Amino acid sequence: MSLSEAIAYVDRGIARAQSLGIKVSLAVVDEFGQLVQLDRMDGAALMTPDLAQAKAVTAVNFKLPTSEVKKLDRETLRSIEQAVHFKVIALPGGVPIFEGAELKGAIGVSGATAHQEENVAAYALKK
């Protein structure tokens, strides 16, 4: 994941959030879960950058949207959380980024309703 790719994803996400009239934070991580780009829109809650990054890291590690991770049984999620060295957050708004079959990274969005966050993330990934 290059910085220019990450910025393009975040810019598209911000444009979508503005069109929806919402204030969010967006985080893009690479295939190793390392932060590449993080932006908090003016007016977004102060906790949203942390949540956006946690969603992105969760999505890249599970190779699934966080809305799908949320469907895992609670005991399984608890066991995973105790074993890994990252914050597992099973809330909608995190989406892995694939180029063909190759995992490139993930994007996380936080600061709105679950549906809006997923909408912004999906829009951000359109090229």
| Sign of the alpha-carbon dihedral angle for 32, 108, 59, 9 | negative
Q: What are the residues facing 90 on neighbouring strands?
A: none
Give the pLDDT score at 26: 98
Give the pLDDT score at 82: 85
Convert the pLDDT of each residue in 21-59 to its tens digit.
999 999 999 999 999 999 999 999 999 999 999 999 999
Give the count of domains, the chain: 1
Residue 98 token pair = 């694939």
Query: CATH number, domain at 9?
Result: 3.30.450.150
CA angle 31, 1, 115 (to 5 degrees): 75
Provide the domain limits for residue 47: 3-124
* pLDDT grade for 119, boundaries at 50, 70 and 90: very high
Assess contact for 121 and 108: CB atoms under 8 A: yes
* pLDDT grade for 112, boundaries at 50, 70 and 90: very high
**Phi and psi dihedrals of 24, rounded to 5?**
-135, 170
Q: How far apart are CA 39 and CA 24, in angstroms?
A: 8
Give the pLDDT score at 127: 73
* pLDDT grade for 97, boundaries at 50, 70 and 90: very high
Does residue 110 surpass a pLDDT of 80?
A: yes
Assess contact for 76 and 62: CB atoms under 8 A: no
